[in-house]
Amino acid sequence: MFKNFFPNKILSLNNNLISSLLTAMILVILVGLIYALFISPPDYIQGDSVRIMYVHVPASFIALGCFGFIGIASILNLIFKIKFMSLMAKSLAPVGCIFSLVSIVTGSLWGKPTWGIWWVWDARLTSMVILLLFYLAYIFTWKFVNNFEKANKISSVIGTIGLFNLPVIKYSVDWWNTLHQPSSITLTSAPTIHYTMLIPLIIMLLGMIIYSLIIFLMRYKTEVMKFKLDRKKNNK
Amino acid sequence: MLSKKVKSRILFLFLFLLLATVVIFFILKSLEENIVYFFSPSEIYDKPNISFNEKIRIGGLVKEDSIIKDQTSIKFIITDLKKEIIVSYSGLVPNLFSEGKGVIAEGELKDKKYFVADEILAKHDENYMPSEVSKALEKSNN
């Protein structure tokens, strides 16, 4: 399975896989949206604004997960100089960046009717903005540093340092008093979300993960092609 | 086997990560006062160098049966089930503001028991459920 991500294998990635993933994604998101918007009940306090959660929580999960991958890939790249690791991380960054933005925007839309305010600088919200900034720094390094080796090194350092922010985001709601509520889904205890709301949440998460996978595969293929072309050019 | 170069890089990165963890821990620890978004009534009670007439946020639960409303102002008690603070506020409260639910008030402490707020935020907890379930839960509790 993992071998398929090696640079030579990804080039043989055909459009059939992408289009079947696309079909799967559309189906899953469609079911998820119908469940989230029509079947699942309104919350006992928040009413219908609970439905924002079905986009907000998956987006946040993916934003954190992508950066987790980028951080680990950065460390592996710094130690073992595995170039395709950084190409993978580079391809994953825009997805995570967009989803962290989605998380912030949807959270803000939810905050106004629930908390009574669009935005506060509590620990969770602030650390999420820092994550977005790390994403931007990571992406802009690749964009504006022309020398590959240099960009590779700087972005890997950014990815490694950014890794520290992830536990801060995750545990910010437990370590400090925040306006943001603590996690409803934890590894140690039963979820505090009723199952009629948990099901659409999981379906939406699945759909958005498939979406991220599609974007990632397409980008990664392009990055590997670009990388090989550049190397050919330089060897001439 | 790992080459010497790779080994030294692992050692360097490991030390760097360790050092960074310690540094970040101490930075966050020393900034704790600024990072917390609000103080609970107990924290206010225990605080040695408390600043009155200065902007501060307190938070906790709205005590049951403590809301007194007139036309322009509202008074209620914020509790963390150990200590309580009386809050007075004039203005609109958020829709989700209600007894027994989380609340955060921004304003000034007049003394350790009395707080004048100029902004009220409702704090949502981590429980999500349909209203039928919440009613059923309430019934079984009573």
Q: Is the ipTM here above 0.90?
A: no
* pLDDT number for residue A53: 94
Output the pTM of the full model: 0.91
β-pairing, B114-123 vs B102-111, is antiparallel
Calpha distance B100→B62 (Å, rounded): 5
| CB interface of A with B, residues 91-150, below 8 Å | 113-117, 120-123
Out of B121, B128, B134, whose CB is closest to A115? Answer: B121
* Residue closest to B57 by CA, chosen among B47, B44, B75, B67: B44
A185 vs A31, higher pLDDT = A31
Structure tokens at B50: 């408390």
**Does residue B97 surpass a pLDDT of 60?**
yes
Residue A139: pLDDT band (50, 70, 90) is: very high
Chain B residue at shortest CA distance from A178: B37
Alpha-carbon gap, residue A139 to B42, rounded angstroms: 45
Out of A28-37, A143-152, A177-186, B43-52, least confident range: B43-52
Highest mean pLDDT among A34-48, A54-68, B53-67: A54-68
Residue A141 scores a pLDDT above 80: yes
Closest CB from A53, A120, A168 relative to B37: A120
**Closest of B112, B65, B73 to residue B90, by C-alpha:** B73
Model confidence band, residue A50 (pLDDT cutoffs 50, 70, 90)? very high
Q: How confident is the model at residue A1 (pLDDT cuts 50, 70, 90)?
A: very low
Burial class (CB in 10 A: 0-12, 13-18, 19+), A86: buried
Return the bridge partners of B74, or none: B69, B89
With vertex at residue B17, the alpha carbon angle to CA B13 and CA A95, rounded to the nearest 5 degrees, is 95
- pLDDT, residue B1, reads 67
pLDDT greater than 70 at residue B142: no
Task: Indicate the SS3 state at residue B3.
Answer: coil
Q: Nearest 5°: CA angle at A151, between A223 and A62?
A: 60
pLDDT tens track for B71-87: 888 999 999 989 999 99
Mean pLDDT is lowest, of A2-6, A47-51, A207-211, B4-8, for: A2-6
pLDDT in tens, B124-138: 988 898 888 888 888
Whether residue A128 is predicted with pLDDT greater than 60 in this model: the reply is yes
Q: Which DSSP helix (H) or strand (E) runs through B72? A: none
CA distance A119 to chain B (A): 11
The residue count of chain B comes to 142
- What is the mean pLDDT of the segment spanning A23-39? 95
| pLDDT value of position A82 | 87
